Every structure is written in C-alpha cells, then in structure tokens.
Structure 1
C-alpha cells in the first residue's frame, strides 16, 4: 500500500502505463479510501539553457568541446606549467577574450529566453472554480482546471473544448505559431458538456504526452445524476493546443489536459541540427593539417637541438646555463619539455584571432541581405530574413536546388476554371458566348455570373435547357448531383462579419452548401469570407458562390450531416455522409484521381480520364467527385464501426482508416474539377538563370506527373525539344501499385537507389512527382550523401517542405500563403522565388569570395611568420660556426 502510494505521488504509475486519468470537478471516493490526485507537472514553460548557478560551468564545458578552444587551453596550461620561451599571456589573453565574448553573447541570448518565459508564465488567465471566475498567472494552471479564453487570445495550455459561444458548438483557431498554417481550423465541443460547466463531473482517459500535433486519442466519462455515465470519444478535433489563437469566436471554456513542458508545443522544442558551411568544415580540416605541421616542426627543432648539443663544446649558452639538478634530471623528461617548448613557440601557426574575425565577418555580412532593397516586396511589406549567418558563403557554392511546385513555382492562388460531368465539359466562356440559345450576357444571367463563376453559369444554363426540353423525372440529374456533391463535400465555413452581412446571408446549415439568396439579380455589396484548411476548397466554393441551385422548382434543399471522413495525405480524399429530407443516405467523396479511380467502376473512368489527363497537361489541379447511395443496413453498419473506432484508445487512426476504406468502395464517378494555379512572378527567368550558372534544379512535388510536367515546361526547366526519361514501372490503368509506393521502394533498396541516382545526376533537370514530405527529405539526403558531397539547397513555402528544408545544406523559405512554418525552419527567407537568383548569384558569390580571401590571408600570414622563425633557427645553428 505504501509503495503504491509513493508511486502515485512520484508519478511512477503514469510512467508505466500508456494513458493517464484526469478528474474534472469533484471526485467521489469511498469512505475507506482517501483520494490521492495524480501528480502532473505545473504549467511553467522553461526554454532557457542556463540558470544563475550552472551558467559558468555549463557554458565553459560547451565552449571547450570545440577543438580550437581546447587546443589553446592546452597550450596555455603548458605555458603555465613548463618553462617556455613565451609568456602565458600570449595564449591566455586571446583565449580569455574569445571565451568571454562568446559567454556574454550566449548569456544575453539565454537572458532573453528567460524574459520570454516569464512573460508567458506570468500572463493572467481566467479559471472557473466553484462557479466563480478567478484570475491567476498562467504558471499556476493545473491539470483538470477549467480555463476560459476569449477571442484573439492564445491558449495557455492544451485544452479539451467543453463550451463555445457559437451556436453550432464549434470554434475557430489558427495554429500559425505551431505548424505555420494561417488557415482557420474548426474544433468541436464534447457533447453533453456545454450546458452546465459548474456542476460538471467527469473523468478523462487519454494518451500520455507526445509531440505529434495532429494525433490525440482519449475518451471522456461524463457522470450524470442517477444515470449511467455517458462516454464520449476525444480526438484532435476536440483538442486546443497551447500556442494556438482563438479566432472568430467570442469565448470558449476548456479543461486543461497537458500543462507546462508536457504540452505538445513544449515537446516540439527540439532544436534544429547544427548546420556548418563547407568553409567552416575546411577550416577544421586545415586545423588538423596545421596541427600536424606544428608537431612535425617541433619534432624537427627538438631533434636538431640535441644533435647540435651532442657536438663537443656546443651546449646551452651561458645565459641559459642549467643547474646541476636540471642537468642530472631524466633525459626523456628534458626531451619532452623541450618538445612542448617548441610547440608553444610555434603555436600561433593556428591563429586564434581568425575564428573571432570570421564570426564577425559572417555576422555583419548578413546585414547586406537584410538591407537589400531589391528583396523588399510591397505586397506583403517585408524583405529578406536571415535566420542564421553561418551559411552565407554556402550560398555561393550551391550545386543542386530542390524546389517545391505549389506555392513556390506557382502562386497558390486558385481559381475554378472548368469541370467535367459524365464526359461533358463545362468551361469558362467569353462574355459574349452562348450555350444553345442561352446568352451569358443576358440580363439576370450576367448578374448571376457576377455572383457565381462562369463555369457555374454554364452548368446552370445547361440544367435550365434540359428542364425546358424534357420532362424532369424523379431521378437525379448528374449535373445537379455533381453540384450538390461539391456544395456538400467540403469543410469550408462562412466567416462571420457585420450584422448587416449576416442578415443578408441565408445559410441554412453548415452542410447546406446550396445557398439561396432570394434575389439573384442583386449582387452582394461585400465579398463573403470563407474559412478553410485548403485553398482548393475555397476556390471551388467561391466558384459556386451565389448560385441558386435548387431542384429546378426553386425549393430549398436541406441535408443532415451524419459523418465526415476527414482528408489526410495518405488517403488523398475526403467524404461526407448526409441524409436528405426524403430520408435517402448519400456518401459524397472528393479527392485525387489516383485515390478515386480504383474505387469506382472502370467504365465510368473512361469518360472522365481523358479530361483529367488533358487538364493536368495544361497545368490545372484536378479533383474527382464520386458518390454512393447507402442502404439502411449499410449506414447502420458504417455508423456503428465509426463510433466504435472513434472511442478506441489504441490504434484509433488505423481503425478509422480501415472503416473509411470499407465505406468508400463501389462508388459511382460523377465528374472532375479543374483549378488553375498561376506561375510566380519571374519564375521562368529565375530557373533559366540558375541553370545557366551550372546549378541543377530538381522539382519535388506531391502533385501528379502531368500537372508538374506542364509547370516545368512553363518555367523553362523543360524545353520542347527536351528528351524526357520517365522512370515508371507500370501505369495506373494496369492496376499495379501506386507510383509513390514504387518510388519509396526504389529509395530503400540500395542497388536500385544507386542506379536511380546515377540516372538522375546525368540529367539536366529532374522532376519527382507524388512525393510525400519525408520522401522529399530522402531525395535531398540521397544527393547530399552522394559521391563528392555536393552542396544542396531546398526552397519551399509550406509545412510539407520543412523536412527537405532542414535536410539540405541551405534551406530557403518563401513567405507564401501556406503559413510561415517553412520560413521559421529555414536558414534564409525571401518574399518571392524571383529573389533566389540574386541571393545565390550575387550575394552568395560575393560572400564566398570574401571569406575565402580572409581565411587564406590568415593562414598566409602565420605561415610566413613561422617559416621565418624556423629558417632563422636552422640558419643560426647550422650555418654559423
């Protein structure tokens, strides 16, 4: 009993199990057993390295781990202990200066971290205790406390969402400080907790703290008076992370589940690996070479001394005559002492001042990039950013550039261009075009076009044409079904604005998607804002904004949202299960062609495949749309399996994926969409200039091959007379494994990897498609570790590019629309891709020339001085009698 109590007090039980138990509200226990609450860490954040007590020993230990500092320390100790020809001040003073300056710099940076920690830890927060609102410092939050957060505030710890002021029991957050994504994300309250927080009595079982921002599993047992406890599943959609910011929601309340250094943000405090430039590595290599030269010269001089003294009459000079005790000392000790004396005499062959000068040159040289007005972008009102000055000269030695496509080569500014429904193409027409008698510029149609996209107008007019030429039966038209699918299958939310705007918006439900305005002829005075996690979804929803899609009798359609099968990069699709007013249960699915085609009938693929390939060739981003009618038994089975999987504490993601794959089979393909993403400004000129400088450009993208090839042609990476070598085993139509799986296998098998590398290194440009983020890093690592160790550079703008940015010798972040995570993890950040040309070909070249001349000058200076001393010694003792 005592051991169990001690383990619970010291947190031993928690370390042995895979989950933790958190009590919310008063906890009832039997009269014979006292309740001992679990011990969790407090909410203090500590990002500093030193304290007042350990700063001196810890900092000295870290500094003397450097070879150069340790070498000069040994030389100084030799000068102090042994009778040497030079004063210890000659080595001790420069070493003291270097150590002191570095310690002051690191101490100041750590003091800033202490200051930032105190600002976070002392930030006032509101807690709900016993029905009262109490203000406390953030560091005093404990696990199980209920915290209140208002709009635009940052969450002080990881919270489970219990209550929101929004009517749909949701809230919106931005996680730009965590993963760099600036898009609004939707989170949901736990059912049965939002009504009465004061009397809430619940128990939470969840996983132990782990750093993955996107994974969380748990369940909540809610106790009700005289009723069985209600069990609710908890997932990432219920978890509000510390560091995220509440947006577009007046107020929320949540229970603290992870605090302090156990929050996901704190667990992701892992520092980036230290990058060293090729020049710095060369200096360290030269250090070993010059150390060998120093030892050899000391050995030669020591040998010559004893050879000279072995001649009769040639002994120590009269002013250096030794005592009898010194003369009778051990001969080997005298030789070793003389050897150390010569080492000290020639020790400045390794200049201690060079390291200080190089560091100062790098530090002040980095301001040239920040001050360059050519890097200023008036659109975002920002210039270039230098996150590290240690790699300035590396910019001038880059041999391989690895670049992302979406958002880097292209603008990531999506516009809905066209769609294909059952093989019939609907494309944006000119202003004076007609469709079978319906003129786009006619009265209300023209006003409709101002509200909706041109593609929507063409589909709508086609529906009107059918309704006039044929009797509309009870079956669902494919065009109408396609529009319904796009209006329902998304996660877009309408952003709240002024009350006047809200009164004009007649949105029935978050899944209505089909917007009725009542008056098509009057355009909105203000643009409606959308909140989404993907620019593709915003483009599609904007394309249908304002369209009056009804069942051709102008009656409003309502759907009940039953389940959302969320998108993830592995599935490459998302689905919704909805129920219509008539009781029909439908599944709508939207995703990449490689993910949708294997799940529909082959004869339907033939109608759409040609249009998808053509759109990809023209550089458009395509999505395929499918649907499935679920019977009552099928839905009951899927509903039970989904609820069971969401309640699982172990392997929840795998169980959900298995259910998703089971439900998303036997679908019917409706059509496909095409979204245009234009090239970045001067992207083609930049790529052409880099290739002209002898730099090889590799494009690593998760997009399909046809789309990426079109972008490479537009960027002049591929020429029309370029011979293309496609490394694909079999095509998708043959039913073989997916290309990304084959590429992953290719990277893992050693002999195939070498063959792949040899082929790619002989190409002028390499394009890798269907790449996952980790596969991008594998490609960079493979080239970086190849023969000759070429200097690599990675450039990207999104969170999926961080892995390859960190892997390359130099990482460049683009300040784009996909968040700032790439910028924060990069070594240098630039507003646009076009600035890469001057950064490499001008600044990088000049940095390399400057530091190369500086290092050569230092070694030349000490070599001249040492050789003069050495030759003088030999001349004096061997030429003169």
Structure 2
C-alpha cells in the first residue's frame, strides 16, 4: 500500500511547528528506507508555487498604504490631512480639501503604479506555476502542474526545458552521466556548464529503473548562494548497508536554468517553491541611500521646524492681539457660545493646528514624486548612450537601481579590481620556465629553448635524463591540472578532426588563465583532447594519445590560491599535479630548482605578466588509499565541509617537487590609462585591489598611469614588517608622507599636485590583516588611524594579494573614516562582489568571469573606459540636475507660503487663506511641476565634450557642493525675499489706490490672485534664466505652463464658477487683467524679484567664478566668435558676388 499521501498529510498538518535543524532528509520518490536506519525528523516543505508578488486582493489597500505612510514625509501629510478633516471652524472649511487632494493624488498614483507592477508579477507567477511538468509515479510518467510538485518527487526534464525546482541530478540520456546547462536567467552566463549525475544512479536511463531507486538524501537547509551546496546521498542496494556519495554544486540543477544539448535528465526535487535558490535570490540587496536623499531629509526637518515656528508665532500673536480690551473682536473671529466656553489651552492648540494646516504647503509633497520620476526617467539616458555600447560583447550599460544616479557625481574614492577590469582578461601564453630552461611556444619563437642572459643560473643546455623527465611531467601537468572543457566536435578514435587537420581544439573554461595555458602548450607539442569516461586524453609530440584516469580534483579557491588533480597513468603510477600562485606553491615545495625559478617568476612579474608555479608529487598505493579516506570523510561531512576539505587539502598538498612556472600576458584594456588619468584629474583617488603578486600588479599600475615615473613608492608589505615591527614601519611611512605637508593632510580631492610630492602606497593582504587585527588591549584603532593618515597623503594605493573579504574590509575602512567619503567599487568577478556590495556605488563589468559582479552591482558597464563618461558626464549631470530640483522645490514653496504668513498680520490671524482653493491645489501639481521636471532631465549647464575634456570640472560639485548649508540658506532667503516683494509690492502699490476704470477697489481675492500671478511667473522665469540647454521641449513646457495658468484662470473665473458652491472668484482674473496698473505692477514686481539673482550671477562670474563658470564663459565667447566669423564670411561672399 502506498502510504506516501498519508505520510505527507501527517507531516504537513500533524507535525506541528518545524523545529529548525541544520539538515533535511529527503526520501527519493517518497520511498522509505529499510527499518533500522537513522530516525527521520519530520519537516514541513512548501509546495512548488513561486510568489514574487507583494500583495493579494485582500491586503493590497492596507499593506500599500502602510508602506507609503511609513515614509516620514507621507506620514506627515497624513497627519496634516487628519487634522484638516477634524477642524470645523469656518475659515478653514474652504481649503480643507486642498492639501488632502494633493495627498490623495500622490498616494493614488503611487498605489496605481504598485498595483499594476504587482499585477504583472501575479500574471508571471501564474504562468510559471501552471506550466506542465513530467514526474514519475509508479514507474510511469505523469504530467501535472509545476505548483503541485513536492520535495522528493522524481522529475524528468527534456532538452530546452527549464528546471521546475532545484533538483539533484540522478541520470542523463548521455552515457557519461553528464548534462549541459545554461544559467543565463540566474547569473547571466550564457556559456554551457557541465553537471554530473550521482555515480550510483547515472546508469538508470528509464522510468522503471528510476522508480525502483531506494535512496535518501541528506542536505543543508535552503540558502541563497547559487554556487554552494552541501549534501550526501545514501543509495540502498538489496537491503544492504547504504553506499554514501557526496553531493556538491556540480550535482545540483537549479530552478530557472535550462537543459541544453542533452535529450533528457532525471532528478529528485530537494528545494521547491520559495525555498529554491532562485526564489531566495529574489530578496533585494540592502538599500543604499545617496547623499542627496540624506540632504533632502535634513532640509525637510529644517522646514518642519520653520513650519512649527510659523504656526506657534501666529498662535501667540493671535491671542495677544485678541487680548487687548480696547480692540473689538472682528466679526469673522467671533465664536459661538460652546466655543467660548472651551478651555483656553484647547482653543490655542486647535488654532495652532489650524495654522499648521494653513502653512503646511511649505513642505513640498510633490517633490518626492518628482524626484522619483526624475531618477527613473533619467536612468534611461545612461542605458541609451551609444558611446557606452561595446560592439565586441554586444552589450551596453545596465542600471540595476536608479536611486543612486546622483551619487555618480560625488565619488571620491574608486576601488578597482585589476584582472578583467583594468586588463582585458584575454590571456596569452608567453613562456614557461622548466628547471631553469625558458620555453616559448612555436607561434613566438618556434618552440626553442632560449638561453637566459640576465644572470639567472641556468642548468645545462642538455637537460639530461632527469631534466627531460621533469620537462615531460611539467607539460603533462599543464595538460591535466585544470577544469577546461573541449567544445564538442566530430572525432575519429578519440582524435579530433581538427587536430588531424592541423587545427586546434576549442577550449571552454570559466578561467581564461586555464584556457591560455592549455592553448599555449599546444605550441610546445602537447595537446589536451578531452575527458571521456573519467579518463583525460592528451596528445604528445609523437602524436600518441596518452590516457590518465582522473581520480580526484582539489578545486581552486581564493584562499588557497591553488588547485590540484590526482591522476593514474596507464602504468599504474599515481601523481598529484598542483598549480597556483608562487606565494602558495613555494612554501610547499622541498625539491627542484627553486631559486632559479623564483628569479624567473620575479622577472616576469616586473614585466607585468601573470605567473603560476607548477609542482607535483608521487603517491604509493597505500598513500593514495589514505588520501582517499581523508577526502571521503571530508566530502561526506554535512557540517563545516569547506573547513574540513581545506584541512584535508593542506595535508595532501605538501612536500611537493617544483617543476617550473608559467607566464601569461593579460593586456591592458583600451583607454584604461586615459580613464585613470582623467579620474585623477577630477580629484578622485583610485585604488587597485587585486589578488596578484606585488610585482605584476605594480607593473600594471605603471602601465595604466596609476603610478607615474615621479611617484615615490612606499611599501607596507610582510617583507618590510619582518625587517621592522609594524609600528615602526607605519611610523616611518607617516613621517615620510607628512614631511612636505607638515601636520596637514592632503584633501581627498587634491588630485594631481604639482607642488607636492606624489606618493604611491603598496600594501599586501598579510600586512592588512595585521593592521585590522585587534591588539592585545582589544583595539586596533591606532594602527588603522595611522594607516588612514598615510593613505590620505598618497595619490594612489595598490593593495595586492587581497582575498575577497579583505577587499570589502578596505572599502569599509575608507567609507567609515572621519571624512565619510563617497566610495565606488568596480570589478568583474565573483571575488569582487563583496566590495561592490560594501561601497556606496557598486559597478560590475560584464566581462569573462561570469555575471556575478554585474548581478550584484548597482550599475554595469561593458568596459572600464566607460567609467570616465559615466562619472564625469552622466554623474555630473545627474547630481547638478537633482540638486537644482531639490533646491528649486524648497525655494518655490517658500515663495508660495511666506506671503500667506505675512497675510495673517492683516487679517487678525484668522487663518484666512490668501489664495483660492484651486490655486492652492494646482500650484505644485500643474502650474510649476512640469518645467522643473523637464529641466532636471534635460539641463546641460556645460556641454558633454567640455566635461570630458576638462575632468577638473568634477571638483566643482564634489562633497555635495550644491546642497551645502550655504547654498540651502541662499535659496531659502531668496525665496523669502521674493515673497516679501510679491506681498508688500502688491500691498503698497495698490494701497488706497483706484486701479479699475470704474473706480472699484481690489478685494482680498483679487489681491491674492495678483500675488499668485507674480509668484507663478517669477518662479517659472527664474527657471528659464537658469536654463543653459534650450530645446523645443523646454520652450513648449515653460511657456506652455504660463499659458496654461492664464487659460485656467480665465476659465475658472468665467465659466467654471456657476458649478461651484461659492462665487468669490467670479470675474476676478479678468478684472485684474483689465487694470493697467495691475499689468504694470506685475511686470515691475517680476523684474524686482529676479534682479538679485541676476546680479548675483553676474558678480560671481566676474569676481570669483568657479571652474564651471569660467568654462561656460569661454564656451559662450567661442560661440560668439564662431558666429561672427560665419557672418563675416557670409557678408564677404555676398559682396564678392
């Protein structure tokens, strides 16, 4: 009887709350193991439904409103709205709905957008959850919807189908038990990856065999790392003790990946639904906030304080004014009897709230919506930039988040990887050194042995028997010690047609170094052919095929910095071949020409070549059995497997015999040097963080102009620390860099200085560990501060031999220093992800080391050279535009609300609004919003060519220059000045003056309309004066907004009023326009309001112009000169004709 359904129900509904355990046990095909096996801990697993949506039909309204009002600004406007609807006194009833309409409009628009986006997610989820899936039940294939899959189900996937959940690979239609997969939807890598079936199940090719499988899987609980998996499978054969096999990431087929070049595979579901790695990666990265957003919040708090102060002042003055016994209370302030009997404090508090409502327009609710639109729409200018499109890769820039656009204009430190970022990551094999002999491939020098003439002690020209044997071992090591795959091709008896025809094999690997080495030794006579049935085949110079059984692979990792393979030859000899960084290999070798090879390695490193050392050891059968047990115990461990494997590798990879070293050239990327030079001129400090050895990295830094010939290099390396103590080395370096500058440190935007000595610092990973390591007294602060002091006075820093986490530590150290500079990290590989996530702005290079960096970054670009335009042009524009938008919004709201404040002194502090309800509502929504939005998208105060030619212009906007307190106060006082001109200009101009033809005086609504008209024209014309880059769209929006205001006012006072419950605006606007003095007053007040800003611009440009203003003046002069020359040439042509 099949009890799987009953057991599933019991586990799901009767097991209670799941007790969290480190591992999970899965019955393959829901077949229970024999009795007597280890007890099973019931766990509840989700079904296979994917839910990427945020809302449901029932929770959309409350959840969305909660998310919106969680923001301080929105919550503030909600409070104001609630206060408004609770106020019952007459003067405020007329405008009670005005701010609330704005809040409702903003909330409605945001909710509609969120609802539409979530509906699309629901639609995509349903399509994914309802797609058909084949799974095995009672030995037969059955189709059901993907959402009905359960952990333990055995699934069949066909070619070009997507895996419906995370599967353990059991068997394949391919005889060798492999399959090819693309993971482009997960990590962006389009290349085919090879996955391997479980050794004991790869021979099961039909449904009956798979259904008869009796096995359990123990594995870790779900976690989001796509490249890490730990588990083991226990296969039961005829009720005997199970055979345990380790499971790793090479056995795990991930949901979202696609099966390629394989007819079909069988797999067992271990993670389903929201526990799949794809779903766990839906979780967004930690939110980064830009400096502009932080400034906006600070300014908002300032204006909140101003708002409270205004309301408090008016409340106090109101009661002081009413407390005068000789002053009769005006009729519009008279209270009913219940109101008179209310407590004085309660009445004062009510009046205070009323003033808060009246003046709340000083807080720009629409600014947040406009900023979001500006960021979203502005990001398209980056993705549409054709100059940042790379034809070789067919890719352009990618924006993963638009929240940090303006941060691109504030970068002070750039931390860049070297390989694949500054260099092409296009490796070319240059040479190899074996036992002191230097070999160069046929393509370069006909494969001959070169005699070294640089003083290196070389062995005899004729290697002899031992030397010849080591030479062959070296070439075999390079042919065998790798994870390269051969692109499939037709073959004849194991020999590739391309090889028979004199061509070369096409190799595929995630590491370009490995491909370069395997291709390079082809020129020296050894060719790697393929891996077939766990045997690696190579072609020797005699065209004989040699076969080696692949026994173990000790995979490369960034901590060990080496990899090894254990192989068995046809003669039964067992070898371990190991290759890795010189710092990793030399401490583990006991024999070989160590000194000669080290000298050659150092020489190649100085030339900027990437070097690897190769070593080997030979095992006896007994030693190999011991190694097998050691590795098996580590691989079968579910707890701390990586740590145990590292310990096992450490024991195995010792007492090696050094064979030689290789040198691979990685060419510098096009225009990388020009880019770094421009960034330094812009005042940005560039640091290179790399895992390469010091000499190689230093040579690259000279090539890309990070270091210059006059740069004095300072070393903070393990070698220096061994000669002196860390304290002494730091003290000496600090004294050196401060010698020319005294006690002052360089400003981080000093750039390339001519009057100060340029210093470059080189530090390695081991020295950094000592600096970051807590001292015996529990702190490392003194060392860190001294280190930071040294770095501040260096124009460039090179950090070599860096582990991935150390890169992130460096970024965090600078980011949290007392200056709090804006940092940017850029890299192309998985080892750069940690620093990309740590920096304020993370940029990924869509390079050859996968797409992990691009996936985890805020922005992605094809090449390092594109960083120049991204920062110096796009970043510059983004920051200037958003800064002007923020300051302008606060300015125009001060202009808008300060006359309201002044008006209370003339209306007995009665909360009487100065403007009509329609004007209050539409001022920020319609009359003044579109011009500033377009300005913030289109404005170019300097041409793009000028920004690229003059990188120093970047310094003008550094350190949040346009949102500093001085600039903020200037804009605020400018708004106050203009508001005073609007109000008192209109007041004194028309005080006791007949301004209409029939002798009628202006009323309060006409007075308010006049002030509002001057206000709208002034703030719009100010934006026009600030505009440097005019297009037809600018003209249309700016003049169109003014025209819309006029047409609306005419309609509002002439046509719409019969449909309203009040007629106070009837014929008001027409009456104002029919007055000659009103026209004169409007023109005069606009001119007076704009005059201070115009004078300030003229005087500043003449007396103390910034670099940007000087550039603008030069550009204008050049344009005038070119126009004059053109006109003269046209005139002379006409005269000659």
Whether TM exceeds 0.5 here: the answer is: yes
Report what 1:162 is aligned to.
170
Q: Aligned ranges for residues 706-855 of structure 1 at < 5 Å?
A: 706-730=695-719, 739-748=764-773, 749-855=780-886
Residue equivalent to 1:21: 25
Q: Deviation per CA, 1:75-101, whole angstroms, max 9, x where unpaired?
A: 111111124644221111110111111
Residue 703 (structure 1) aligned with residue 692 (structure 2): yes
C-alpha separation in 1, matches of 2:83 and 2:359:
13
What do the CA deviations read for 1:131-176 (whole angstroms, capped 9, x no partner)?
Answer: 3223332222222222222334332211111112333322333434
Between 1 and 2, higher relative CO (CA 8 Å, sep ≥ 6) is seen in 1
Residues 143 and 683 of structure 1, relative CA distance in 2, 3 Å threshold: same
Match of 2:653 among 659, 664, 668: 664
Residues in 2 aligned to 1:821 and 1:226: alpha-carbon distance in whole angstroms: 44
Structure 1 residues 875 and 660, CA gap change in structure 2 (3 angstroms)? same
**Distance in 2 of aligned mates of 1:708 and 1:831:** 22
Larger deviation: 788-797 or 620-629?
A: 788-797
- Say which is worse superposed, 814-823 or 87-96, in terms of deviation: 814-823
* 1:219 and 1:647 in contact (8 A); partners too: yes
**Residue range with higher mean Cα deviation, 737-746 or 349-358:** 737-746
Q: Secondary structure at the match of 1:45?
A: coil
Distance 1:459 1:133, change over 3 A: farther
Q: How does 1:554-703 map to 2 (within 5 A)?
A: 555-601=544-590, 604-703=593-692
Q: Which moved more, 1:869-878 or 1:558-567?
A: 869-878
Per-residue Cα deviation, 1:421-458 (whole angstroms, up to 9, x for no partner)? 11222235xxxxxxxxxxxxxxxxxxxx4xxx547833
CA contact (8 A) 2:510 2:850 kept: no
CA contact (8 A) 2:439 2:450 kept: no
| Post-superposition CA distance 1:443-492 (Å, at most 9, x none) | xxxxxx4xxx5478336999xxxxxx979758852211110110111111
Three-state SS of the structure 2 residue aligned to 1:858 is helix
User: 2:124 corresponds to which residue?
Assistant: 116
Q: CA deviation at 1:502?
A: 2.7
Structure 1 residue 557 displacement after superposition: 2.6
Give the structure 1 partner of residue 448 of structure 2: 458
Q: 3-state DSSP class of the match of 1:558?
A: strand
1:278-293 aligned at under 5 Å gives the runs: 278-293=291-306
Shift of 1:383: 2.4
Change in 2 beyond 3 A, CA 1:270/1:300:
same
Matched, 1:415 2:428: yes
Match of 1:206 in 2: 219
Which structure has the greater CA radius of gyration? Answer: 2
Compared CA separation, residues 569 and 179, structure 1 to 2 (3 A): farther
Q: Deviations over 1:308-337 (max 9, x none)?
A: 112113243123311232222101111111
1:650-674 per-residue CA deviation (whole Å, 9 max, x = no partner) reads 2222222222111111001111111
Q: Distance in 2 between matches of 1:712 and 1:309?
A: 77
Contact 1:157 1:242 in 2 (8 A): yes
User: Are the aligned partners of 2:418 and 2:690 in contact in 1 as well (CA < 8 Å)?
Assistant: yes
**One of 292, 309, 316 as aligned partner of 2:322:** 309
Q: Distance in 2 between matches of 1:551 and 1:686?
A: 45
Contact 1:182 1:818 in 2 (8 A): no
Deviation at 1:731, TM superposition (A): 6.1
Root-mean-square deviation (CA, aligned residues, Å) is 3.3
CA positional deviation for 1:551: 7.4
Equivalent residue number for residue 521 of structure 2:
544
1:758-805 per-residue CA deviation (whole Å, 9 max, x = no partner) reads: 211221111111222222222222222222322222222222222222
Q: What residue ranges of structure 1 are gaps of 5+ in the alignment?
A: 429-448, 463-468, 508-514
Distance 1:630 1:733 in 2: 36
1: CA distance between counterparts of 2:415 and 2:449? 41
Alpha-carbon contact 1:176-1:821 (below 8 Å) kept: no
Q: 1:284 to 1:471 in 2, by over 3 A?
A: closer
Q: Could you say what secondary structure the match of 1:212 adopts?
A: coil
Q: How far has the Cα of 1:188 moved from its partner?
A: 2.1
Shift of 1:3: 15
Partner of 2:512: 535
Question: What do residues 840-874 of structure 1 show as CA deviations (whole Å, max 9, x unaligned)?
Answer: 11122122222222222222222233333333434
**1:707-736 Cα deviation digits (max 9, x unpaired):** 111111111111011011121243699999
For residues 128 and 449 of structure 2, the distance between their equivalents in structure 1, rounded to whole angstroms, comes to 54
Which is worse superposed, 570-579 or 537-546? 537-546
- Find the aligned partners of 1:416 and 1:605 in 2 and give their Cα distance: 22
Three-state SS of the structure 1 residue aligned to 2:27 is strand
Change (3 A) 1:868 1:217: closer
Residues of 2 paired with 1:470 and 1:297: CA distance? 96
Using the alignment, how far apart are the partners of 2:33 and 2:837 within structure 1? Answer: 51
Question: Structure 1 13/354 Cα, relative in aligned 2: closer, same or farther at 3 Å?
Answer: closer
User: CA, structure 1 residues 249+271, in 2 after alignment: closer, same or farther (shift >3 Å)?
Assistant: same
Are the equivalent residues in 1 in contact too, given 2:224–2:280 (CA < 8 A)?
A: yes
User: Take 2:40 and 2:473, find their aligned partners in 1: how far apart are those partners?
Assistant: 59
Q: Which residue of structure 2 lines up, in the alignment, with residue 62 of structure 1?
A: 67
Q: Distance in 1 between matches of 2:8 and 2:543?
A: 69
Aligned residues between the structures: 834
In the alignment, the residues of structure 2 paired with residue 29 and residue 656 of structure 1 have an alpha-carbon distance, to the nearest angstrom, of 31
CA displacement at 1:741 relative to structure 2:
4.0
Partner-residue secondary structure (3-state), 2:425: strand
Partner Cα separation in structure 1 for residue 522 and residue 153 of structure 2: 43
How many Å separate the matches in 2 of 1:776 and 1:329? 67
* CA–CA separation in structure 1 for the residues paired with 2:389 and 2:542: 55
* C-alpha deviation, 1:11, in angstroms: 4.8
Answer with 222-231 or 781-790: which moved more. 222-231
Distance 1:745 1:245, change over 3 A: farther
Counterpart residue number, 2:100: 92
User: Would you say the 8 A contact 1:216–1:234 is kept in 2?
Assistant: yes
Per-residue CA shift, 1:211-256, capped at 9, x if unaligned? 3333333332222236443232323332222223334433321111
Distance 1:361 1:221 in 2: 57
Unpaired runs of at least 5, structure 2: 1-5, 204-208, 453-460, 527-538, 727-762, 774-779, 910-983, 985-990, 992-1137
Residue in 1 aligned with 2:152? 144
Structure 1 stretch 358-367 or stretch 11-20: which is displaced more? 11-20
1:558 and 1:6, CA in 2 relative to 1: closer, same or farther beyond 3 A? closer
Change (3 A) 1:604 1:376: same
Determine the C-alpha separation between the residues in 1 that align with 2:551 and 2:76.
Answer: 70
Distance 2:307 2:17 in 1: 59
Matching residue within 337, 355, 363 for 1:324:
337
Counterpart of 2:479?
Answer: 487
What's the secondary structure of 2:161's corresponding residue?
A: coil
SS in 2 for 1:730: helix
SS at match of 1:746: helix
For 1:178, the equivalent position in structure 2 comes to 186
Q: Does 1:336 align with 2:349?
A: yes
Contact 2:675/2:867 (CA < 8 Å) preserved in 1? yes
Question: Secondary structure in 2 aligned to 1:15?
Answer: coil
Of Structure 1 and Structure 2, the greater helix share is in 2
Task: For residue 583 of structure 1, give the secondary structure of its aligned residue in structure 2.
Answer: coil
Contact 2:717 2:766 in 1 (8 A): no
For the 8 Å contact 1:180–1:818, the answer to whether it is kept is no
Alpha-carbon distance in structure 2 between the residues aligned to 1:529 and 1:734: 49
